[in-house]
Structure 1
């Protein structure tokens, strides 16, 4: 048996194509999940073009769907459970996933919204945690209209921080005050007072400016680099009172944090904004919109079924 998947192919304009791959086999401590939705990240686009994900390999990290085979060792969710996962090779009709990499999705949360949580939501949650977030902390979120940014704004506000959201245009700042931002800036113009925490997904010259705005003892968490531009620090910019620039990557099982995020969504305490949603057959369209910064929030792919599976559960939100 085989399943369809989005695999890396540098010969195509989007560097990705739909292809048939072998039906996954669950290993120890894994469940099989029929995927209904997946979300697209800048990192996926970079992985496809940079060679980090090799040619022919299945792309993707974010997915949601229904468990069709439980783990043989009895751990993890049962057959029929609705789940969200952060796992490699997520862009496929069916995926074998470690039980530690997924969480149950509450019935009040649709699977499209759940699929938007893994990379962006976990990055926002963990980077804020690593930065030492506390009530009253002045938090600057760059690229605040994107997936990580919108989650970071909401989570920081929920923790009692003073949140400054930086965006590329007035239009991209829409909805951020409602999400919890105390200030919304175009770029970093008008930011006169130092900040304690920076969650930066832009990189380039804006990262240098954000570093210069950081107060002693503060922390920049570098979670992305959507600008694609180099960051040139002037002489002595890194000499002075102690502050830190920390590289960030999601490591280890994300299941526990996914459960926290999914529950916050169920409670109405965290909003998922989907700026683009459509069939995974329109991957190139979604990728171009994401690269062109024409999406606020997340891009969600709907995984259509090929009908080639062995009999199993149907997918339902």
Structure 2
């Protein structure tokens, strides 16, 4: 934290939007957050980078980026709810890429002692997205689940959770190299694209969009569900006439954007980490001063899993 002259407000370092900086991001200073009664104040140790964070062009200059963070509670909630000072926590909140962060007690969870805080930081957005979209698709036991873009942060968590739920997991990736390690995480089949998927599936988690979303829709069984999570292809999805008609029970295509009150689900995810049933796949890690390098690697599809930035060094912990 940065202290300024007596009588002036305190400030903290943060990564903010600046279109004149490399990658549209620079290190700046913002006001020290003032938590509401239902919020705790966190000293941030690690943050994670998501593809949505790369969209600096759609955010006003000076916006603090990020939503995934882990660290320690520096100030407990004034209303008496939530964890005590000194508790290790993981949190989901806008403006996470800062030294200190005010977070609702409903949007954080205590991190088990056996879990590295850097691994915990990789969980929130990817984990919540995977968990909630799998849950929306219904029971998993014995069902065929297709996950496209399976090599990314959401995909790698989804593969593990679907396998834990008893599903037959088909992981689709963009290249053979991107599929490395997915079988170990629980994928029963690892395919490049969708041409080699020769049996219908009950549930699709699609991270790619474009023509692959249309192809995945055509693989659904009657009554199947397609959860549209991301659009990594950046291409439009064009459905041919009558392609949404199918005999039998209706197929559904659903959007996802439910990221409210995630604390209970975060607790499930970090609990699985602590039990060794879930692995946080961190494909890039370094100090937050190297954020431009991290975002370039992520946008260039050179990161298997998540990129994590260290805000606080081990020496400061």
Instruction: Please indicate the TM-score interval, normalised by the length of the shorter structure.
Output: over 0.9
Distance change >3 Å, CA 155–CA 129, structure 1 → 2: same
Give the corresponding residue for 1:93.
Answer: 99
Looking at structure 2, the residues matched to 93 and 289 of structure 1 have their Cα atoms a distance apart, in angstroms, of 23
Give the corresponding residue for 1:290.
Answer: 298
Cα deviation 1:115-134 (Å, max 9, x = unaligned): 00000001000000001132
Looking at structure 2, the residues matched to 250 and 134 of structure 1 have their Cα atoms a distance apart, in angstroms, of 20
2:33 counterpart (14, 21, 24): 24
Cα deviation 1:56-113 (Å, max 9, x = unaligned): 1111100000001001111100000000001010000001111111000000000000
Looking at structure 1, the residues matched to 209 and 127 of structure 2 have their Cα atoms a distance apart, in angstroms, of 19
Looking at structure 2, the residues matched to 172 and 190 of structure 1 have their Cα atoms a distance apart, in angstroms, of 16
Q: What runs of 5+ residues in structure 2 fail to find an aligned partner?
A: 1-9
1:37 counterpart (46, 52, 68): 46
Q: What runs of 5+ residues in structure 1 fail to find an aligned partner?
A: 306-313
Once the two structures are superposed, the pairs formed by residues 192-271 of structure 1 within 5 Å of their partners are 192-241=198-247, 242-271=250-279
Q: How big is the alpha-carbon RMSD for the aligned residues of Structure 1 and Structure 2? A: 1.2
Looking at structure 2, the residues matched to 26 and 196 of structure 1 have their Cα atoms a distance apart, in angstroms, of 44
Return structure 1 stretches of 4+ with deviation > 4 angstroms. none
Looking at structure 2, the residues matched to 269 and 86 of structure 1 have their Cα atoms a distance apart, in angstroms, of 22
> Any conservation in 1 of the 2:128–2:259 contact (CA below 8 Å)?
no
Looking at structure 2, the residues matched to 22 and 72 of structure 1 have their Cα atoms a distance apart, in angstroms, of 20
> Any conservation in 2 of the 1:65–1:315 contact (CA below 8 Å)?
no
Q: TM-score, normalised by structure 2?
A: 0.94
Looking at structure 2, the residues matched to 270 and 315 of structure 1 have their Cα atoms a distance apart, in angstroms, of 28
> Any conservation in 2 of the 1:34–1:315 contact (CA below 8 Å)?
no
> Any conservation in 1 of the 2:143–2:167 contact (CA below 8 Å)?
yes
Once the two structures are superposed, the pairs formed by residues 7-156 of structure 1 within 5 Å of their partners are 7-46=16-55, 48-49=56-57, 51=58, 53-156=59-162
> Any conservation in 2 of the 1:133–1:156 contact (CA below 8 Å)?
no
Distance change >3 Å, CA 315–CA 131, structure 1 → 2: farther
1:272 counterpart (271, 280, 283): 280
Looking at structure 2, the residues matched to 42 and 133 of structure 1 have their Cα atoms a distance apart, in angstroms, of 29
Give the corresponding residue for 1:308.
Answer: none
Task: Give the superposition deviation at 1:315.
Answer: 5.6
Is 2:175 the partner of 1:163?
A: no
Task: Give the superposition deviation at 1:13.
Answer: 3.0
How many equivalent residue pairs?
305
> Any conservation in 1 of the 2:159–2:187 contact (CA below 8 Å)?
yes
Looking at structure 2, the residues matched to 201 and 250 of structure 1 have their Cα atoms a distance apart, in angstroms, of 16
Task: Give the superposition deviation at 1:251.
Answer: 2.8
Task: Give the superposition deviation at 1:29.
Answer: 0.5
Looking at structure 2, the residues matched to 133 and 150 of structure 1 have their Cα atoms a distance apart, in angstroms, of 19
